[in-house]
A and B are shown apart, each in its own frame.
Chain A
Amino acid sequence: MAFLDRRNKDIRNLPGFGTTAGLAVLFLYAPIAFLALYSFNAGWSISQLEGFSLRWYKAVFANEGIQNAALNSLTVAIIASSIATVLATAAAMATVRLRFRGKEVAYGLINFPLMVPEIVTAIATLIFFAAIGFRLGLMTVIVAHIVFCIPFAYLPIRARLASMDAGLEQAARDLFARPFVAFRRITLPILMPGIVSGWLLAFIISLDDFIISAMVAGPGATTLPVHIYSMLRLGITPEVNAVSSLMILASTLLVLISAVLSRKTKT
């Protein structure tokens, strides 16, 4: 029974820890599950189920305000995350592969957007555009999003690059001579999973943003979270639940895709 005794002493299994973990996960999921459940309610209520129906989803898809906002959100997220990913890839190449002075400063500056509270970024960006007399619109939202997307795209790309064998590039460069060809033929394909997951993270972060978009969006440039927020003035409706559920679905799918991609690359 020495084995049992050992197991009992094993610090890996502390009593109550499993329960806490279970409750933590329940705590994380219960509210969003409840919200999703009531999006299928046949009635108007958000506290009494009156049968299953897709009417609120139909209402969401027929709602022009939501459509425009969703289109704006997608436009901003696609443009901002793509530009941020290109910039982040270049920056990661420099900080991981090259030797130069001031690397610490460069690294700090790239991660700076992560250190500033969102509300500060939001009003600073608003003040900046007002000060230079730039009219608020979709453009201002895109620019603001590029800035905070850069570190999110940068981190997975840097991680991937750091775990990659630099000898491969060296060998390629010895053979091809031109660094750009070595980058395109060797580095880029191996780096691709990191780039894709960086892009996905930046994309989700862009879709997630509320306060910065709310501050710098001009008329007609409302993004989906800003639009949902304005719908709340009439209280939480099943329609809010339905559009929210769609957003939950979208981000869950994107995270799963990103996870599958990064798992594939580990093997």
Chain B
Amino acid sequence: MKAPPDTGLAALLLSPALLIIAVFMVVPIGITTLYSFLEPARFGGVIWEYSPEAYIRLLFERDIFDDTLSFSTDYLRIFLRSLMQAGVATLLCLIIGIPTAWFIATRPDRQKTLWLMLVTVPYWVNLLVRTIAMLLILRDEGPVNETLQLIGLTAGPLPLSYNNFAVGLGLVYSFLPFMILPLYAAIERFDFSLLEAAYDLHANRWKAFVGVVLPILRPGVVAGSLLVFIPGIGAFLAPDILGGGKTMMIGNLIGQQFQGSRNWPFGAALSTVLLSLTLIALFWSARRAAKSGAQVL
């Protein structure tokens, strides 16, 4: 077989970008996986000796005195909490996002641009700043609690901040535009004249919506869910700033291994597991999309 004609030039043009990503991203991830099988040094870093301890620690607790292992759900619970929080946030984003994207996509062109702009701008505002803003709103002395007390709905402040509720809401707040935009793109591609026939046949527009439109939404739902769920599992800022003692997520646990408690191999093992989960989710949805012939991203 003859080599395609442009291979040389393509290599020349592509190699700078690909080399940078390979050297500073792919190789580091490889080294991280390697580090996850080494012994931790006391103040960060590693000792070059093989040890599966980091992975054992994920599921078992080692007795300090006699070294026996006992099953422990401490870290497993953090993983499950991360999955739950990201899952709930994705669901909430879908519930808010589908009507919102639908509404925007069905506006006349000029209004559409304005609405899209309104959704896009917050997405580009610094995530740390947005998370701080969310904390300001949810605090005991924040406007939500003050208003509730002013109109006499509650006697004291509701516990809106420093708990799982606040983290969940923070995740929705962080990633809602990620859901709306791909949903919008899916609806936008849809030819509404085709629907004329559908809703003439159906008894009402709700039936038409559920029966005809939801399948069309699917690529948008898949893309949006990935864009919310994946950064959601690994979120650091929302649980860190809006959460309290019992709301830690994987991202925070990983961060801790490199700041406070300093166990690099354990942090590396956690990262490896998190990345594996993420890539599995991505490939799974990509394969499903390929089977159904739809474009995901």
Which residues on A are within 8 Å of B, measured CB to CB?
Answer: 9-14, 16-18, 20-21, 23-25, 27-32, 34-35, 38, 46-47, 87-88, 90-91, 93-95, 98-101, 106, 109-110, 112-113, 115-128, 130-131, 143-144, 146-147, 150, 154, 204, 207-208, 210-211, 215, 225, 228-229, 232, 236, 240-241, 244, 247-248, 251-252, 254-256, 259, 263
Q: Are A14 and B102 in contact (CB under 8 A)?
A: yes
| Cβ contacts A to B, 22 pairs, < 8 Å | A10-B205, A11-B195, A11-B209, A11-B213, A17-B102, A17-B103, A18-B103, A20-B99, A24-B180, A29-B118, A87-B20, A91-B17, A117-B251, A118-B231, A124-B25, A124-B271, A127-B31, A128-B32, A232-B132, A244-B126, A259-B120, A263-B113
B279 contacts A by Cβ under 8 Å: yes
Residues of B1-40 contacting chain A, CB below 8 A: 3-7, 9-11, 13-14, 16-18, 20-22, 24-29, 31-32, 35
Extra inter-chain contacts (19) besides given A116-B275, A259-B120, CB under 8 Å: A20-B100, A24-B96, A29-B122, A30-B137, A34-B133, A34-B137, A47-B146, A87-B16, A90-B16, A94-B6, A94-B9, A99-B6, A118-B234, A119-B254, A126-B258, A128-B24, A146-B24, A210-B126, A248-B129
Residues of B195-252 contacting chain A, CB below 8 A: 195, 199, 204-206, 208-209, 213, 230-231, 233-234, 236-237, 241, 250-251
B149 contacts A by Cβ under 8 Å: no
A13 contact from B106, B134, B274, Cβ within 8 A: B106
B159 contacts A by Cβ under 8 Å: no
Q: How many interface residues does B have (CB within 8 Å)?
A: 95
Instruction: Known A28-B177, A47-B142, A225-B128; judge A35-B133 contact (CB<8 A).
Output: yes
Q: Which residues of B contact A150 (CB under 8 A)?
A: 17, 20-21
Closest to B251 in A: A119
A114, chain B: closest CB distance, angstroms: 9
Q: Are B278 and A115 in contact (CB under 8 A)?
A: yes
Q: Are A143 and B120 in contact (CB under 8 A)?
A: no
Q: Are A247 and B14 in contact (CB under 8 A)?
A: no
Q: Are B6 and A147 in contact (CB under 8 A)?
A: no
Q: Are A34 and B136 in contact (CB under 8 A)?
A: yes
Most buried by A among B130, B192, B231: B130
CA distance in complex: A147, B177 (Å): 24
B236, chain A: closest CB distance, angstroms: 5
Residues of B91-122 contacting chain A, CB below 8 A: 96-97, 99-100, 102-104, 106, 113, 115, 117-122
CA distance in complex: A113, B3 (Å): 29
B264 contacts A by Cβ under 8 Å: yes
Q: Which residues of A contact B275 (CB under 8 A)?
A: 116-117, 120
CA distance in complex: A240, B113 (Å): 32
Q: Which residues of B contact A211 (CB under 8 A)?
A: 236-237, 251, 255
B31 contact from A87, A124, A143, A228, Cβ within 8 A: A124
B90, chain A: closest CB distance, angstroms: 15
Q: Are A255 and B20 in contact (CB under 8 A)?
A: no
Instruction: Known A11-B209, A90-B13; judge A232-B118 contact (CB<8 A).
Output: no
Q: Which residues of B contact A24 (CB under 8 A)?
A: 96-97, 100, 119, 176, 180
Q: Are B25 and A252 in contact (CB under 8 A)?
A: no
Q: Which residues of B contact A25 (CB under 8 A)?
A: 115, 118-119
| Bitwise interface map of B from 126 to 150 toward A, beta carbon under 8 Å scored 1, else 0 | 1111101111110101110010000
Q: Are B28 and A12 in contact (CB under 8 A)?
A: no
CA distance in complex: A113, B241 (Å): 25
A100 contact from B4, B22, B102, B255, Cβ within 8 A: B4
Closest 9 CB pairs of A and B: A117-B234, A128-B28, A31-B133, A98-B6, A94-B13, A124-B28, A20-B99, A100-B10, A87-B17
Residues of B173-201 contacting chain A, CB below 8 A: 173, 176-177, 180, 192, 195, 199
CA distance in complex: A252, B267 (Å): 36
B171, chain A: closest CB distance, angstroms: 13
B27, chain A: closest CB distance, angstroms: 7
Q: Are B21 and A90 in contact (CB under 8 A)?
A: no
Q: Which residues of A contact B13 (CB under 8 A)?
A: 90-91, 93-94, 98
CA distance in complex: A101, B118 (Å): 42
CA distance in complex: A150, B267 (Å): 26
A28 contact from B9, B122, B231, B264, Cβ within 8 A: B122
A16, chain B: closest CB distance, angstroms: 7
Residues of B46-70 contacting chain A, CB below 8 A: none
Q: Which residues of A contact B4 (CB under 8 A)?
A: 99-101
Q: Which residues of B contact A46 (CB under 8 A)?
A: 136
A179, chain B: closest CB distance, angstroms: 8
Q: Which residues of A contact B237 (CB under 8 A)?
A: 210-211
Q: Which residues of B contact A125 (CB under 8 A)?
A: 24-25, 28
Q: Are B10 and A94 in contact (CB under 8 A)?
A: yes
Q: Are A31 and B236 in contact (CB under 8 A)?
A: no
B155 contacts A by Cβ under 8 Å: no
Instruction: Known A29-B122, A94-B10; judge A14-B99 contact (CB<8 A).
Output: yes
Q: Are B206 and A14 in contact (CB under 8 A)?
A: yes
